Amino acid sequence: MPVIEGPAFVVDGDSLVIKKNEIRIYGVDAPELNHPYGKKAKWALVALCKGQQVRAKIIEKDVHGRAVAMCFLPDGRDLSEEMVKLGLALDWPKYSEGDYRTFEPEGVRKKLWLADARQKGRMHVWAQFDARQKARAQDQAK
């Protein structure tokens, strides 16, 4: 299993860049930046990684060509586990085999309902949300 280690540039709540390598954090799903809690998830991951040498154990490549990796802080904490414990990412059993489900705070799947919908294949929920966001932006532009 290849390992990349270095400072991390955080892209969003479940992806980062280490030494020019795009990395998808293993086994979890955080909200997109334009979804509820998306920016909060990103900044929580920034806070965890700031000033740290993040170690990424690469497992595979995803459909977007990013490395999927288990990511650890120097003190041994697993970034996937930490984001789930904070209630800003969900365990994604399709990929994690449920490794992080026990760390999910009660009610987090209702809070992160769009991520939960994606995991269940209900992408129409995303389309409806995005359409409402676009309509609000157009109304505000008037």
Catalytic residues: 24, 32, 66
Euclidean distance between CA atoms 60 and 80, whole angstroms: 16
What is the CA angle 49-113-80, rounded to 5? 25
Phi, psi values for residue 44, rounded to 5° = -65, -40
How many Cβ atoms are within 10 Å of 57's Cβ, its own excluded? Answer: 16
* Distance separating alpha carbons of residues 112 and 37, to the nearest angstrom: 7
What CA–CA distance (Å, rounded) separates 95 from 60?
11
